[in-house]
A and B are shown apart, each in its own frame.
Chain A
Amino acid sequence: MLRHLSLLLAILSFGGCASTPTTLYDQLGGQEKIALIVDNFIKEIEFDAVIFQHFKDSDVSRFREKLIEQLCAETGGNCQYTGDSMEKVHTGMKISESDFNRTVDLLINAMTKADVSYPLQNRVLAKLAPMRADIYQR
Chain B
Amino acid sequence: MKQVRFLSQTFALLLLTQTTLAGEGKLLATAGLTQLEGSGGGGIVPWATVAGYDSEDEFSVAAFSTQVNLDDYRLNAWGVSVGIYDRIEISAARQTFDLTSLGGDINQNIFGVKTRLYGDVIYSAWPQTSIGLQYKKLQDPGVAKLVGAKSYDDGTDLYLAMTKVHLGALAGYNLIWNITARATKANQLGLLGYGGINNNHYEVMLEGSLGVLVSRQLAIGVEYRQKPDNLAIKEDDWKDLFVTYLPNKHVNFTAAWAQLGDIAGAKDQQGLYLSMTGYLW
- Which residues of A line the B interface, CB within 8 A? 1, 4-5, 8, 11-16, 18-19, 96-98, 101-102, 104-105, 108, 117-120, 122-123, 125-126, 129, 132-133
Contact = CB atoms under 8 A, between A and B. Distances in A.
A102 B27 CA distance: 8
B173 A132 contact: no
B167 A104 contact: no
Contacts of A97: 25, 55-57, 86
Contact of B167 (A13, A16, A125): A125
B131 interface: no
B212 A119 contact: no
A72 B25 CA distance: 28
A96 B57 contact: yes
B171 A5 contact: no
B25 A101 contact: yes
Contacts of A101: 25-27, 55
Given A97-B55, A122-B168, A125-B168, A8 B222 contact: yes
Contact of B239 (A1, A11, A14, A122): A1
B154 interface: no
Contacts of A12: 170, 173, 212
Contacts of A133: 123
B250 to A, nearest CB: 14
Contacts of B174: 122
Contacts of A119: 168, 171-173
Interface string B151-175: 0000000000000001111111110
Interface pairs A-B: 6 shortest CB-CB: A119-B172, A15-B171, A98-B25, A122-B168, A126-B167, A97-B55
Nearest to B54: A98
B56 A122 contact: no
Contact of B241 (A8, A117, A132): A8
B130 interface: no
Given A97-B86, A98-B25, A101-B26, A15 B55 contact: no
- Pick the most buried of A12, A102, A117, A132: most chain B CB atoms within 10 A of its CB: A12
25 contacts: A8-B220, A8-B222, A8-B241, A12-B170, A15-B171, A15-B172, A15-B173, A16-B170, A98-B24, A98-B25, A98-B55, A101-B55, A119-B171, A119-B173, A122-B167, A122-B168, A122-B173, A123-B167, A123-B172, A125-B167, A126-B169, A129-B122, A129-B123, A129-B167, A133-B123
